[in-house]
Amino acid sequence: MLNDIVFTQNRILTVWVRYYVIIFHKEEGYEMETIVSIIILIIVMIVVYKLSTLNATSVSSPRKTCDSGDAEDLTKYYQKACDGGDALGCGLLGLLYFGGQVVKRDYSLAAKYFQKACDGGDALGCFGLGYLYVIGQGVKRDYSLAAKYYQKACDGGNAEGYTGLGYLYANGKGVKRDYSLAAKYYQKACDGGDALGCNALGLLYLESQGVKRDYSLAAKYFQKACDGGDAEGCRNLGVSYANGLGVNQDYSLAAKYFQKACDGGDALGCRNLRLLKKHHF
| Tens-digit pLDDT profile for residues 88-125 | 999 999 999 999 888 999 999 999 999 999 999 999 99
Say what percent of the chain tops pLDDT 70: 75
Closest CA to 246 of 211, 227, 220: 220
Whether 182 is in a domain gets the answer no
Given a cut of 90, is residue 254 above it in pLDDT?
yes
Closest CA to 165 of 137, 179, 185: 185
Whether 143 is in a domain gets the answer yes
- What integer pLDDT is reported at residue 51 of this predicted model? 39
- Give me the mean pLDDT over the 13-41 stretch: 33
- Give me the mean pLDDT over the 70-80 stretch: 83
Following CA atoms 197, 200, 206, 208 in sequence, which dihedral angle do they give, to the nearest 10 degrees?
A: -90
Higher pLDDT: 162 or 59? It is 162
- What integer pLDDT is reported at residue 101 of this predicted model? 84
Whether 25 is in a domain gets the answer yes
- What integer pLDDT is reported at residue 272 of this predicted model? 95
- What integer pLDDT is reported at residue 5 of this predicted model? 56
Handedness of CA 70, 76, 79, 83 (dihedral sign): negative
Q: What is the DSSP string of 35-90?
A: GHHHHHHHHHHHHHHHGGGS-TTTSSSHHHHHHHT-HHHHHHHHHHHHHTT-HHHH
- What integer pLDDT is reported at residue 37 of this predicted model? 35
What distance in Å separates the CA atoms of residue 90 and residue 113, rounded to the nearest whole number?
5
In the chain, the number of structural domains is 1
What distance in Å separates the CA atoms of residue 42 and residue 18, rounded to the nearest whole number?
9
Whether 73 is in a domain gets the answer yes
- What integer pLDDT is reported at residue 31 of this predicted model? 38
Q: Which residues lie across from 170 on neighbouring strands?
A: none
Whether 225 is in a domain gets the answer no
Whether 40 is in a domain gets the answer yes
Given a cut of 80, is residue 7 above it in pLDDT?
no
pLDDT digits (tens, 9 = 90+) for 39-73: 333 443 444 334 334 333 333 323 333 343 567 78
205-223 burial, b at 16+ Cβ within 10 Å, e below that, comes to: bbeeebbeebbebbbbbbb
Separate counts of helices (H) and strands (E) for the chain: 14, 3
- What integer pLDDT is reported at residue 24 of this predicted model? 29
Whether 127 is in a domain gets the answer yes
Mean pLDDT of the chain: 81
Query: Which strands form 29-31's sheet, in the order they lie side by side?
Result: 12-15, 22-26, 29-31
pLDDT band at 172 (very low <50, low <70, confident <90, very high): very high
What distance in Å separates the CA atoms of residue 141 and residue 78, rounded to the nearest whole number?
27
User: What is the span of the domain harbouring residue 129?
Assistant: 18-157
pLDDT band at 243 (very low <50, low <70, confident <90, very high): very high
Long-range contacts of 209-217 (CB under 8 A, 24+ apart): 209/170, 209/179, 209/182, 209/183, 210/170, 210/178, 210/179, 210/180, 210/181, 210/182, 210/183, 210/184, 211/179, 211/180, 211/183, 214/246, 215/240, 215/245, 215/246, 216/246, 216/247, 217/246
Given a cut of 90, is residue 148 above it in pLDDT?
yes
- What integer pLDDT is reported at residue 28 of this predicted model? 35
Given a cut of 60, is residue 79 above it in pLDDT?
yes
The domain spanning residue 24 has which CATH number? Answer: 1.25.40.10
What distance in Å separates the CA atoms of residue 70 and residue 81, rounded to the nearest whole number?
17
User: What residue spans of 120-214 are helical by DSSP H?
Assistant: 123-135, 143-155, 159-171, 179-191, 195-207
Q: How many other β-carbons are positioned within 10 Å of the β-carbon of residue 8?
A: 12
Given a cut of 80, is residue 158 above it in pLDDT?
yes
pLDDT band at 4 (very low <50, low <70, confident <90, very high): low
Whether 273 is in a domain gets the answer no
Give the range among 31-35, 102-106, 190-194 with minimum mean pLDDT. 31-35
Given a cut of 80, is residue 134 above it in pLDDT?
yes
Distances (CA, A) of 14 to 68, 99, 103, 267: 30, 14, 22, 18
